[in-house]
Structure 1
Amino acid sequence: MKTITLATSDTLQLPLRQPVRAVVTEWSKPAPALDRRPVVLHFAYSIGGGGAEAMLMNLAETLDSAQFRTVVVAMNAKPWTHQLKRLHEAGVDVHDLESTTYLNPRTLARLHAVLRAERPDIVQTWTHHADLIGGWVAWLAGVRNVVWSIHCREIHRNPGDSDGKMAFFRRALGFSSRFIPQRIISCSAAAIEDHEAIGYPRDKMRWIPNGINAERFVPDVDAGLDTRAELKLPANAPVIGYVGRLHEMKDLATFLRAAALLQTRVPKAHFVFCGGVEVQLGEVERELLAQLPQRQQVRFDSFRADPWRLYPALSVFSLSSRTEACPMTVIEAMSCGVPCVTTDVGDCGRLLEGIGQVVPMRDPVALANAWEQALQLGATAREEIARQSRQRVLDRFTIAHAAGQYAETYAELVEVKS
């Protein structure tokens, strides 16, 4: 694999108008001669830190390399060293633009230069900002097979975005969706309806649920005990866990209010937040955290390179989100056989139908009650939930199944030789 950095201060200085050259890292290997495989180039802000990024990683690792050559272009890949290693091991080429701003002229020029150098047959963009910016740059670079991705039900507001800017962004997405993408892949059935409402053409949209590596996410008692010891959690304590960004859409205020209720009934209850540190919480969330009856029984852990070792440490996995699409973390927890409780948003009800609990959003009482019920399950009931949850993942939500559907979509756009 080659990691390419274009015209950066600490590598090779080139005027942007000159031909693209590459700075090749120690992971480099020569490209195969006369490679006739269609090139699928993915453009995303990052390769870690969220569900869309996790799905991108899973797809890049799994897509049939005999059928397609995969290239990943990220705005900012450098912080995600574990993900870079995984892509290298999968034989995926990575270009890091080393930028934090989509609309920086140098960033746009670098992206355009990579597209002209790679000459992809298909460009797939990930999340709304990458869809709009990456889609237009790909179009200007002469790429007509553009695929957009939907991984949330609403368009997220960045800090400082005004109502006017958000309204313009929605209109720009709706307008551009009519002719920039040839296909629009949504991981969520519910999100398709939301995006059709802002102008996305229904006939371009295809539902492909997220998929995970079920051979990696497995029930593992020993891994769970090791992780509990690492996080200084008692081996037999009830533990409610959350995995994800500490973002306002996750409504962690409701989660913490429910935690306070549960700790008054189950004083030994512990909580784990994986995906950030306490200082990243909002002011309201920090106040609620400080008021917990057993504040010392709450742990924060950054995004882990081995989340499959965290889930088995949990008694219950839970989301309190006010909006979701098809949350990857729920599928991962199910594959590990962990009982799940979520709010009734996005495709959560579809994922957990008959084997988990969904509660109304912004209802801490209902959430705490559902946690308590899950903690009271007997061994036999927990084993049955674990069996059914994992089987559902194996039947419907493996990355092999999802990658096959992506490959079918790509094959519709380019002639693929077997």
Structure 2
Amino acid sequence: MLPRKEKIKIVHIVTALNVGGTEMMLYKLLTRMRKDRFENIVFTLKETGRLSKDFESKNISVYNIGGMGGVLKVSVLIKSLNILRQINPDLIQGWLVHGNLVATLVSAFLPYRLPALWNIRYTALPKAETKGSTLFIIKLLSLLSFLPRKIIFNSKAAANDHIRMGYRRDKSCIIPNGFDTKVFLPSEEERNSVRLELNIPEEAMLIGLMGRFDPLKDHSCFLKAGAKLLNYKRDTIFLLAGPGVDWQNRHLIQLIEKLGISENIFLLGERQDIPRITAALDIATCSSVAEAFPNVIGEAMSCGIPCVVTDVGDSAWLVGDSGIVVPPRNHEAL
């Protein structure tokens, strides 16, 4: 029997390490893998991102191979290949559209065949909210889907959508997101502390939407639904948190002022205490027009918070009979 290598080296390629569901899941995965068996390295295609320091503090190397704007540059591939030859990994895994493409290309150009995995964490993306270059790469990857060793989806809906687009069924497997129930848990103490911090009355209904500012998250639908609800329940408070969801966001401010709901809104921006904030909610919401398997809903359910979600991705399957499911882009239903 051949001696086993000291550690299995895995290179992960992702657009950037900014705060988001994919990036946080990557962080949770890598920091929980056995360090005596695996060595993980991360390549970022744009900026390294705010989370890079968190990865590096856990002895996970982060390389910014940079240069990716609207199109993929040859310099990105050359730099990737040079570093990969030095690292000599056993496996390469792409994350999301651009990461999957780069993982496939560099794997093909190495002098030895490096096994590649794709990680797809999105359903069929709506054309109106998605860049044309991204849609092109998604189509291109369907033609290249015979190349990776496996295509990993985090939801049944994502797998079904991509198989319909021509992705190889025999290469596909589904690994749903997991949630740390020791971090996200019911807490009356946290509920009280958040209300004290924000000066929210005890009797007020607190409804939350967690997630970065992005057209796919449809914050407008959430705010319009909130304005309608306030016609019936004036003591409702809406709490939104995530990158770009703050009082510097002109789009959000203009809509909030137009709806006349400023006094009932908290825009907290990017927060480091999402488990605490989630535990303080009375209702958690997902108003997205596209999702695969929303982390924020699983985290809310882990905290014992009832959820109202749009019927996208695996959201309806996730909440089951513990929440309410409504059509996307319909603030009346929400």
What TM-score do you get using the length of structure 1 for normalisation? 0.72
Shift of 1:242: 0.7
Corresponding position of 1:108: 77
Counterpart residue type for residue 62 of structure 1: R
**Does structure 2 conserve the Cα–Cα contact (< 8 Å) formed by 1:42 and 1:71?**
yes
CA deviation profile, 1:80-136 (whole Å, cap 9, x unmatched):
1xx344424433222233555362343332222221111111111100111112321
Counterpart residue type for residue 35 of structure 2: S
Counterpart residue type for residue 60 of structure 2: V
CA deviation profile, 1:286-322 (whole Å, cap 9, x unmatched):
5432133431221112222221111012111101111
Residues 319, 167 of structure 1: CA spacing in aligned structure 2 closer, same or farther, 3 A cutoff?
closer
| Match of residue 178, structure 1, among 146, 164, 169 | 146
Residues of 1 paired with 2:265 and 2:74: CA distance? 44
| Match of residue 326, structure 1, among 270, 277, 293 | 293
Give identity over the alignment, percent.
Answer: 31
Residues of 2 paired with 1:329 and 1:296: CA distance? 25
| Match of residue 59, structure 1, among 5, 8, 29 | 29
**Structure 1: which 5+ residue stretches go unaligned?**
1-33, 368-418
Give yes or no for the alignment of 1:204 onto 2:171.
yes
**Structure 2: which 5+ residue stretches go unaligned?**
none
Corresponding position of 1:406: none
Counterpart residue type for residue 158 of structure 2: A
**Does structure 2 conserve the Cα–Cα contact (< 8 Å) formed by 1:150 and 1:187?**
yes
Q: How many residues align?
A: 328
Residues of 2 paired with 1:348 and 1:365: CA distance? 19
Equivalent residues in 2 for 1:36-115, closer than 5 Å: 36-76=6-46, 78-80=48-50, 83-99=51-67, 101=69, 103-115=72-84
Corresponding position of 1:372: none
CA deviation profile, 1:38-76 (whole Å, cap 9, x unmatched):
111111112232211121111111122232222222234
SS of the counterpart of 1:354?
helix
Equivalent residues in 2 for 1:13-412, closer than 5 Å: 36-76=6-46, 78-80=48-50, 83-99=51-67, 101=69, 103-141=72-110, 142-155=112-125, 161-162=131-132, 165=133, 168-179=136-147, 181-275=148-242, 276-278=244-246, 283=251, 286-367=253-334
Higher strand share: 2
What TM-score do you get using the length of structure 2 for normalisation? 0.89
Corresponding position of 1:412: none
Residues 365, 157 of structure 1: CA spacing in aligned structure 2 closer, same or farther, 3 A cutoff?
closer
Counterpart residue type for residue 152 of structure 2: I
Residues of 1 paired with 2:128 and 2:85: CA distance? 30
Shift of 1:208: 0.2
CA deviation profile, 1:206-235 (whole Å, cap 9, x unmatched):
000011222222222222333333344334
**Does structure 2 conserve the Cα–Cα contact (< 8 Å) formed by 1:264 and 1:293?**
no
